[in-house]
Amino acid sequence: MIRPILRYGETALHTKAARVEKFDDELRKLLRDMAETMYTAPGVGLAAPQIGVPLRVFVIDISVGKRAGELIEMVNPEFVTCEGIQLEEEGCLSIPGFEATVVRPLRAVVHGFDRDGSEKTVEGTGLLARALQHEMDHLDGSLFVDRLRGIKRDVILRKVQKLRRTGQW
């Protein structure tokens, strides 16, 4: 089931998500819905808070569904390590139409669990490392614009406020 994606300014996007306590059919359905929502959007990642579910869960597929078997599902993820720096443009399904250059790690390793509660570690470089950090930020109530400073951040936030005032957000 495709779920609505919350937009910047919604309280759920700015709140730290809770750990998953039960690995059950409800969690598996959430993960299926998240993947379907992400692919339909389309996007490379989606965190549960983006669909209004305050749990530490995300999905990523940097192929955007073009290559089978590349979907990553993570439950209760934690960083093991982040190394290096990359500066690339990125956007967010919760801030549609806006992109900015964000500092992200060049390499990231995340440890957590799969849909059945088995331990899982994901290591990524380049786009995958960036996606891992992006989705981890969502689980902590942060969006990419929160990492920006100065004029670029102000411009995006002013445009979002204008869209909100005119009912287009």
Dihedral pair phi/psi, residue 90, rounded to 5°: -145, 155
Catalytic residue among 78, 88, 123, 135: 135
Instruction: Write the burial class of residue 21 (CB in 10 Å: 0-12 exposed, 13-18 middle, 19+ buried).
Output: exposed
Dihedral pair phi/psi, residue 141, rounded to 5°: 80, 25
Query: For residue 60, what are the β-bridge partners?
Result: 45, 72
88 is catalytic: no
Report the first-to-last Cα separation within the chain, whole angstroms: 23
Known catalytic residues are: 135
